[in-house]
Amino acid sequence: MRTLSAPLPGGTWTLGDLTVTRFGYGAMQLAGPWVMGPPADRDGALAVLREAAGLGITHIDTADAYGPRFTNQLIREALHPYPDSLHIVTKVGATRNHDGGWPPARRPDDLRRAVHENLENLGLETLDVVNLRLGDAQGPQPGSLAEAFETLVELQRQGLIRHLGVSNATAEQVAEAQATAPIVCVQNMYNLAHRQDDGLIDELAEQGIAYVPFFPLGGFSPLQSSALTAVASRLDATPMSVALAWLLQRSPNILLIPGTSSVAHLRENIAGAGLSLSDEDLAELDKIGR
């Protein structure tokens, strides 16, 4: 396997009893346009997954709703049988419709079916981590997660899930989940320009729980900021590299899962995340989104 000349930036973190690299890989972009259908370049998608594992990434984030099914099937084709060091984190709680929407699917039968479909398409007997996706496409929404989360706890007791987390959740829902069963991660939208979870990140860090930002580079619309551009120019780096490096330095419990369908871009992301930002850089960047 190919390896970088230095360890992956950020080192490692422990999800329960699973050690993962803080720099991971998000598989969402391996599906077709708008996360629907198969990839235009199937061989390229398989190559990215194999490169990620070959470079030492041990944390892959996915969902059976991506495609749907295509992304998990690609992961299985590229990497199965999985090495013991590789850990796949998936999510349930939403499905796809023909319009490309993400309607909720959090009834007990929906969740049981989703867990079994993830197991089948990934070729696993136990899922390492399952996040319960809450809210909607607009973001977290208030409301109890009790019935849905208790369903996943029961599947965990059956041995189908190793660890639990929540995604797209409010701080109140995180607390409600923790009152029911231990969680190892929270996966919410967060980046330089969207800082609504600053307090939650710090609370989770004190508890030893990972925070995994989705859309770390802004999502379908890349981050735009004069301050970000200025820091990147000073460091002779790309704005996206600086944004990833900032996340790793923001808190030790932040795990990165940037997605890409390009091997070259994957390597650029890893190298960029290894930038060392000075106190001056951090102070300038911290003004974004506040």
From 25, 66, 190, 211, the catalytic residue:
66
- What is the spatial distance between Cα 134 and Cα 144, in angstroms, rounded to a whole number? 10
pTM: 0.96
pLDDT band at 289 (very low <50, low <70, confident <90, very high): confident
What digits encode the pLDDT tens for the residues 100-148? 889 999 999 999 999 999 999 999 999 999 999 999 989 999 999 999 9
Question: Is residue 66 flagged as an active site residue?
Answer: yes
Contact 197, 215 (CB under 8 A): no
In the predicted structure, residue 159 carries a pLDDT above the cut 90: yes
- Cα–Cα distance for residue pair 1/29, rounded to 1 Å: 23
- Let me know: does 131 contact 90? Beta carbons within 8 Å: yes
Tell me the average pLDDT across 182-203: 96
The residue count of the chain comes to: 290
Question: How large is the average pLDDT for residues 221-230?
Answer: 84
Helix axes of 108-122 and 146-157: crossing angle, nearest 10 degrees: 40
Strand partners, 94: 104
Give per-residue pLDDT as tens, 7-52. 899 999 999 999 999 999 999 999 999 999 999 999 999 999 999 9
